[in-house]
């Protein structure tokens, strides 16, 4: 159950990062357009649209893989638990010396790509404590929610 919440929180963070990146790229396209570089603006705008479509695809994939469509009336409560898990995950990232911002998955991926930061990043990730990220009461709450999801609402 802990892994489910952590995976959904990470997925949500990645999708949010991709969507904000698309908005920033779109802003750059607008600036190019206003600056009179229309060809470059169109090319950057196409890249922004591709990044937005990637975000939509990742969001749909996350919903499908997490079974969010099957949770029905308890999905809002599960989303609330995922948001709490995201906050706990960022706090735990900061505790072990990793970036704790909402952009953390992207920043950690960049650290893993660079060879001279890879070893320290992997050591820090090994220190992550799942019990601190998702306390037992959240796991219990998720189990109760999933049990009520199996029964139709009254």
Question: Tell me: the pLDDT tens digits for 40-76?
Answer: 999 999 999 999 999 899 888 887 887 766 777 777 7
The band of 153, judged by pLDDT with boundaries at 50, 70 and 90, is low
Distance CA 119, CA 129 (A): 18
20, part of any domain: yes
Query: Which DSSP state fits 58?
Result: H
Instruction: Tell how far CA 98 is from the center of its chain.
Output: 16
pLDDT tens figures, 79-92? 788 887 888 888 88
Its domain, for residue 74, covers: 2-148
Angle between helices 104-113 and 2-34 (to 10 degrees): 90
Buried b (16+ CB within 10 A) or exposed e, 14-29: bbbbbbebbeebbebb
Say how many C-beta atoms besides its own lie within 10 A of residue 144's C-beta.
Answer: 12
> Comparing 135 with 92, which gets the higher pLDDT?
92
Percent of the chain with pLDDT over 70: 93
154, part of any domain: no
64, part of any domain: yes
Q: How many domains does the chain have?
A: 1
> Comparing 96 with 5, which gets the higher pLDDT?
96
Distance CA 104, CA 90 (A): 8
pLDDT surpassing 60 at residue 154: no
* Token pair belonging to 41: 């603006």
Determine the pLDDT at residue 31: 94
55, part of any domain: yes
Distance CA 15, CA 124 (A): 24
Determine the pLDDT at residue 68: 67
In the block, tokens 């070893």 appear at 119
111, part of any domain: yes
83, part of any domain: yes
Determine the pLDDT at residue 152: 58
153, part of any domain: no
70, part of any domain: yes
End-to-end CA distance of the chain: 26
């Amino acid at each position: 159950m802990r892994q489910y919440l952590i995976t959904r929180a990470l997925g949500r963070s990645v999708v949010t990062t991709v969507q904000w990146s698309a908005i920033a790229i779109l802003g750059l396209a607008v600036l190019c357009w206003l600056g009179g570089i229309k060809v470059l603006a169109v090319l950057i705008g196409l890249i922004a649209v591709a990044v937005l479509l990637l975000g939509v695809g990742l969001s749909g994939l996350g919903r499908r893989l997490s079974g969010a469509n099957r949770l029905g009336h308890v999905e809002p409560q599960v989303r609330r638990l995922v948001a709490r898990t995201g906050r706990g995950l960022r706090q735990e990232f900061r505790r072990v010396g990793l970036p704790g911002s909402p952009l953390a998955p992207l920043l950690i991926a960049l650290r893993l790509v660079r060879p001279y930061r890879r070893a320290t990043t992997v050591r820090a990730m090994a220190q992550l404590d799942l019990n601190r990220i998702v306390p037992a009461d959240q796991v219990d709450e998720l189990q109760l929610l999933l049990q009520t999801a199996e029964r139709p609402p009254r």
